Amino acid sequence: MSITLTSHGAAGTVTGSKHLLEVTRTDGSTTRVLLDCGMFQGEAVYKAKGDPNRRFGFEPKDIDVLVMSHAHIDHSGLVPRLVAEGFTGPIWSTPATRDLCAIMLADSAHIQEYDFAFDLKRARKRGREPEELEPLYTVDDVQPAMALFQTTEYAQPVTIAPGITLTYTDTGHILGSAAVHLAIDDGERVLQVTFTGDVGRYVDRLLPQPAVFRQADVIICESTDGDRDYADIAEAEAELLRHVEEVCVQRGGRLIIPAFSIGKTQELLYTLNTLSNEGRLPRIPVFVDSPLAISATDIVRHYSKLFKPDVQAELAKDPDLFNFPGVEFVRSPDRSKQLNSMKKPFIVIAASGMMEAGRVRHHLRNCLPDPANGVLAVGFCAPGTLGDELLRGAKEVRIFGDPVAVNASVDKMEFYSAHADRGELVRYLGCQDAAKVKRVFLVHGVDHSLLALKERMMGAGFRDIAIPRKGERFVL
Ligand SMILES: [Zn+2]
């Protein structure tokens, strides 16, 4: 009878992905399908009144099914809280997304508990009570959430609710990432709804290019990099090698590469492994300083069947594409701290990519004041994050509440950006007959990205393009 869409996150922002489809039938019954349950991060949190991660905008117990696009925290980070607040339905994902969520959400729970304890201590020191009385969720909330996961492979349709069929296609964004295609039968018609999740790039990397998908009536499309066209991408090996040589060889400094534990870290290791196999990598220790990245690398190894065919073929010659002489995977905090007092140059890859949490903050605090060192950003940093501040050329930043001078070089390498640029997004949607698409919703972007992508898409023949505001309801 009616189908509506309401975005409760990633509407005018890049984080907090949450889109609610409500299908009401003639008999009065309603099925509620939530697409993603992501956490707000960075500016979306600082600029909001109150913590937006503590208010869903809907009743978790009223949701029938949750469908995940991929494991990144801005798409999955509130799943434990959704379940703790009463959601009991199935959570659909690809098998790789489920496995990655298991480690990502456990890690996120630790961060929530740690941050809460930190805020509590600071508030008490100042003689105040903390703003919140408990962490967003705890480690104990993760297992009940993981128990609700059900999986289906790419291109394997599955019925997820009466009259609603789900099919996933690969978007090549991170391991297991998928576009969500729902065929929704409301008793009068079948509406084809596609939610792109995050779309990967058409460059030569571990994962395949984004897959084509069947004709949709409605498309909910991400817009993260909708305002930019990447220059022709320099060969990744040559560019990464240039940064290593400049910082570690010529200046004798440390190269800090803040990177998402999932996706970027493995792509970086794969490039370094290739350079090492070819004998081009200088003999410099490489530390992967992130227990989460180590677990994620194990999962990526396990799913090598999802790699591009030519990368799978490389496995015959080199069975481990993420390990080479000189690399050390650092699990213990003690070993991580030892790196601070090392005198010789080294490369460290540590999370988080936007530099908001994780061990990378210790390395940055330690290394930023020395001009010999370098920071190499390899991905998108949301406005308001430490990564964004550094890329904008800040001369001083605050880390753990203390001012830190920035004298180290700060560079960006776009090859590892996991998001399609404007041209690539239009190329991705090129498999569609634009005239048959009734409506496009642009989400997961800041204002100028959304507007720039809208303009480009109108040029590509898409007609009705909406940019939802948070909480705005559309009848489909
Ligand atoms: Zn993502």
Report domain extents, the chain: 2-228+419-475, 236-416
pLDDT at position 220 is 97
pLDDT at position 58 is 97
CA of 263 to the centre of ligand 1 (A): 9
Q: Is the pLDDT of residue 43 over 80?
A: no
CA of 146 to the centre of ligand 1 (A): 19
Lowest mean pLDDT: which of 17-21, 131-135, 262-266? 131-135
Q: Is the pLDDT of residue 131 over 80?
A: no
CA of 128 to the centre of ligand 1 (A): 37
Q: Is the pLDDT of residue 207 over 70?
A: yes
At 231, the pLDDT band (50, 70, 90 cuts) reads low
CA of 223 to the centre of ligand 1 (A): 12
Instruction: Report the mean per-residue pLDDT for the chain.
Output: 93
What is the CATH architecture of 2-228+419-475?
Answer: 4-Layer Sandwich (3.60)
CA of 93 to the centre of ligand 1 (A): 14
Lowest mean pLDDT: which of 66-70, 213-217, 421-425, 432-436? 421-425
pLDDT at position 129 is 79
Q: C-alpha distances in angstroms, 68 versus 12, 297, 391?
A: 20, 21, 31
CA of 393 to the centre of ligand 1 (A): 25
CA of 173 to the centre of ligand 1 (A): 7
**pLDDT tens across 307-365, in order?**
999 999 999 999 999 999 999 999 999 999 999 999 899 999 998 888 988 899 999 99
pLDDT at position 26 is 86
CA of 449 to the centre of ligand 1 (A): 16
**pLDDT tens across 1-27, in order?**
799 999 999 998 889 999 999 999 988
CATH class as words, domain 236-416: alpha beta
At 86, the pLDDT band (50, 70, 90 cuts) reads very high
CA of 395 to the centre of ligand 1 (A): 29
CA of 6 to the centre of ligand 1 (A): 20
CA of 300 to the centre of ligand 1 (A): 16
Share of the chain above pLDDT 90, in %: 78
pTM for the complete prediction?
0.91
**Rounded distance between C-alpha atoms, residue 444 and residue 219, angstroms:** 13
